Amino acid sequence: MTVRKEQLRSHLEYLSLFETELPWPSANPTVRSQRDPRELRVLPGAGEPLPRSLAEYEQAICNCQRCALGATRTKFVFADGNPRARIVFVGEAPGHDEDLQGLPFVGRAGQLLNQLLAGVGLSRKDVYICNVLKCRPPGNRDPQPVEVATCRPYLMTQLSILNPDLLVCLGRHAAMALLQTDAVMRDLRGRVIPWHGLQILVTYHPAYFLRSMNQLYLGEQDFRKLRELYDALPA
């Protein structure tokens, strides 16, 4: 009896430490069946102590007014997808549709992202999707350096809680914000870059493919590489 109580207590402590959300109802191999209690990677720039869950963190920051975008946004866009995913996509910033719905990649670029995922047997439920900026820049202009610097700790905290294995930068702004590089996309795209114990794959932003459909084969190549990297991950 005592042993069972002890086991139950330690199981509850485990759950409260790593996950307060319900387990994702999936037997899908892209999803961890249990949060891996191995070393948590607290990424440089993340707020410490780490919040206990993504849901808790979203609640804590969703009324942010740290930069001017707080005054012009309709909705704060935290993320979409599976909080237990091993693959995380990072885009640039919410656009018009995302700002209205409060979810990332729900417009045309999002539909193309869904197609690219489906092409390698994945769906949004298998991955986690977020952006460098959580609020829409007016008129979809490029993020300003001060906005990226202000919002980056949110992303680093989010990624630290998620603890993914693979991170996909969708476009130049995501690559610049995470890798802190000025390298051009031509040099980064398709490369797998080790980063704080995980792997980053850089590809073009889906909006780029919408403008240049003849380049879509590059995105398809990158997603095939992503699938290979995923399949090679230890269980």
* 81 touches ligand URA (CB under 6 A): no
Minimum distance, C-beta of residue 49 to ligand URA, in the bound complex (Å): 28
* 92 touches ligand URA (CB under 6 A): yes
* 94 touches ligand URA (CB under 6 A): yes
DSSP 95-161: -HHHHHHT-SS-SHHHHHHHHHHHHTT--GGGSEEEES-SSPPGGGPPPPHHHHHHHHHHHHHHHHH
Nearer to ligand URA, 19 or 92 (CB): 92
Q: Are 164 and 81 in contact (CB under 8 A)?
A: no
Nearer to ligand URA, 57 or 208 (CB): 208
* 222 touches ligand URA (CB under 6 A): no
Interface region with ligand URA, contact rule CB under 6 A, candidates 13-21, 56-64, 94-102, 159-167: 94-102
By 3-state DSSP, what share of the chain in percent is helix, strand and coil, each rounded to 5?
45, 10, 40
CA 163 distance to own-chain centroid: 10
* 158 touches ligand URA (CB under 6 A): no
* 219 touches ligand URA (CB under 6 A): no
* 135 touches ligand URA (CB under 6 A): no
Window 103-132: residues binding ligand URA (CB under 6 A)? 104-105, 107, 109, 131
* 91 touches ligand URA (CB under 6 A): yes
Q: How many residues bind ligand URA (CB under 6 A)?
A: 11
Q: Judging by beta carbons within 10 Å of its beta carbon (0-12, 13-18, 19+), is residue 197 exposed, middle or buried? A: exposed
Beginning with the edge strand found earlier in the chain, give each strand of the sheet holding 128-131 in spatial order.
80-81, 128-131, 87-91, 166-170, 198-203, 192-195
Nearer to ligand URA, 210 or 218 (CB): 210
CA-wise closest residue to 41 among 177, 153, 197: 197
Minimum distance, C-beta of residue 182 to ligand URA, in the bound complex (Å): 19
Taking CB under 6 A as the criterion, the residue among 95, 143, 164, 219 binding ligand URA is 95
Q: Judging by beta carbons within 10 Å of its beta carbon (0-12, 13-18, 19+), is residue 182 exposed, middle or buried? A: exposed
- Binding residues vs ligand URA (CB under 6 A): 91-95, 98, 104-105, 107, 109, 131
